[in-house]
Amino acid sequence: MFKKVLIANRGEIAVRLIRACRELDIPTVAVYSEADRNALHVRCADEAYCVGPPPSVESYLVMDRIVDVAKRSGADGIHPGYGFLAENPVFAKMCEDNGITFIGPSPAAIEMMGHKTVARETMQKANVPVVPGTELLDDDDLARSAVEIGFPVMVKAAAGGGGKGMRIVHEQKQTEEAIRAARSEAKSSFGDDAVFIEKYVEEPRHIEFQILADRHGNVIHLFERECSIQRRHQKVIEEAPSMAVDEDLRMRMGEAAVSAARAAGYWSAGTVEFLVDKHRNFFFLEMNTRLQVEHPVTEMITGVDIAKEMFRIASGEKLSIRQEDVTMNGWALECRIYAEDPFNNFLPSPGVIQTLRVPGGPGVRDDSGVYAGYEVPLYYDPMISKLCTWGRSREEAIDRMKRALGEYVIKGIKTTIPFHLKVMSNEHFLAGDITTSFIGDKFILETGEHGEGLRDVSLVTAALQMGRRTREGVSVSGQRDKGMDAWRMMGRRSRWVM
């Protein structure tokens, strides 16, 4: 196992990984930008080093600086979390070249699966179903291919992800402009304007399979996650398992996910993402060569600690479980809580968290990177926590989520808690009638053109929370001289290195 691990990330995922290291008795090193000097992950780690100014391109994305900190601190492993450098093959190779273990897959696997057209070709050779599409072509050939494939089609950036460089084209006259716009966004987002075209799968569900693979050729899957509820191609609510997947489909998709990992020569934790159409046909979408944001729901239904498995695999150990050992117990949901204003087009809401009360009780888990008194910066992704619930059934998990969301008190900034409460009461969501267009087709329209329905839920929830706070007199101060501060939350203090 590792002597010391550097966590090359921030926020809730950095805290999550520090906790995993704590359980494995591995000392940790945090890195932080000047904007994150007082961040929770800095306070939780054993050591912390500043790596630059607030912009991520000057701090969290500076590979040389991260590796230098690892060497100075004596860390023999680096875990990248997700985002930032997690799927950067150059960084993975740089770690290797400096005698540091990259806690993730090989640089070759990251590069192969990170380029969507290469990934498509690899999956086709492995007999994994893929959506009909093209290779990289010039604009004229792409336009002709769109007609041949048949509308609607999706123009997609070959590099990157997260919904960037994507355009849906419904008719021929839109094709040229969509290609130009996708190329421009891909260039600005990923430094690569290569795009290709795929058939647009109508009424799709986004279902992904968690896989684990070691360096000894063992590959297993941990069942599926339903990730169809998305906003602007970004997941906002996930659950495991999926109501759309029966045992036969689960077996076939699981086998395809394992085949995909083997075809990529993959080790570590990873996720194979599929689109499932209304006829229950499934198609490979992409492979995320990292720990997923939504990994907790899989952990809750399987009992497998995915983060700790990543550390064991990276240290050369064999998987601690076999496929036949993996069982499914109950249902789990995850709501991504963002510092955004759901009543103002989900604009970011940075600022100081004045009061924080985190929900608890049976079946509730909150992976967070904040505390009372913490200032949410404007430089990074506005997700502040992942609220998860488990139940013996989907209905129980939803009821617990409603209860937990109602208990969650965050004052000083706007959050998406009212949005999640509204989804949890939506009749289509409750029936499992969801696709990737759920928010636009079956949610926003129900709340009215200006979101009156959502606002009504928010007002009721706010009134209930105010009543609870008035009765109970509960308030958590962010000042260190008033009660427990964030330094004590993880049981020991950190040593800062400037």
Distance CA 282, CA 205 (A): 9
pLDDT digits (tens, 9 = 90+) for 191-244: 888 899 988 888 899 999 999 999 999 999 999 999 999 988 889 999 999 999
Domain spanning 205-468: CATH superfamily: ATP-grasp fold, B domain (3.30.470.20)
Q: Which of 368, 371, 369, 372 is nearest to 354 (CA)?
A: 372
Q: Which amino acid would we find at residue 125?
A: K
pLDDT-above-90 percentage for the chain: 76
pLDDT confidence bin for 456, thresholds 50/70/90 = very low
At residue 418, the pLDDT reads 95
* DSSP string of 172-217, one letter each residue: GGGHHHHHHHHHHHHHHHHS---EEEEEPPSS-EEEEEEEEE-TTS
What's the pLDDT at 366?
Answer: 98
Q: What is the pLDDT of residues 150-203, one digit of tens each?
A: 999 999 888 866 678 889 999 999 999 999 999 999 888 788 888 999 888 888
Annotated catalytic residue within 205, 290, 357, 400:
290
Q: Where are the alpha helices (DSSP H) in 280-329?
A: 295-302, 306-314
Q: Give the class (CATH, top level) of 132-199.
A: alpha beta
pLDDT at 192: 87
What is the torsional sign of CA 135, 136, 139, 140? Answer: negative
Q: Residue 40 has which token pair?
A: 């929770």
What is the per-residue pLDDT for 203?
87
pLDDT of residue 188: 83
- pTM above the 0.75 mark? yes
DSSP string, 343-412: TTTTEE--EE--EEE---STTEEEEES--TT-EE-SSS--EEEEEEEEESSHHHHHHHHHHHHHH-EEES
Q: Please report the DSSP string for 80-92 in residue order.
A: --SSTTTT-HHHH
Catalytic site residue 290?
yes
> Are 289 and 105 within 8 A, CB to CB?
yes
Query: Is the pLDDT confidence value at 379 over 60?
Result: yes
Q: List the one residue out of 15, 22, 20 whose CA is nearest residue 32.
A: 15
Query: By C-alpha distance, which of 111, 273, 275, 94 is closest to 192?
Result: 111
Which of the four pLDDT bands, split at 50, 70 and 90, describes residue 396?
A: very high
Q: Which residues pair with 332 in a beta bridge?
A: 240, 390
Among 112-116, 139-143, 278-282, 375-379, the range of highest mean pLDDT: 375-379
Whether 172 and 151 have beta carbons less than 8 Å apart is answered as: yes
CATH 3.40.50.20 boundaries in the chain: 5-103
pLDDT digits (tens, 9 = 90+) for 100-155: 999 999 999 999 999 888 998 999 999 999 988 888 778 999 999 999 999 999 99
Q: List the CATH code of the domain at 5-103.
A: 3.40.50.20
Residues forming CATH 3.30.470.20 domain(s) in the chain: 205-468
State the pLDDT at residue 223. Answer: 98
Q: Could you tell me whether strands 153-157 and 77-79 are parallel, antiparallel, or unpaired per DSSP bridges?
A: unpaired
pLDDT, tens digit, 9 for 90 and up, residues 311-357: 999 999 999 999 999 999 999 999 999 999 998 989 999 999 999 99
**Closest by CA position to 120, among listed 111, 110, 109, 133:** 133
Report pLDDT for 136.
75
pLDDT tens per residue, range 467-493: 444 333 333 333 333 333 433 343 443
CATH 3.30.1490.20 residue window(s) in the chain:
132-199
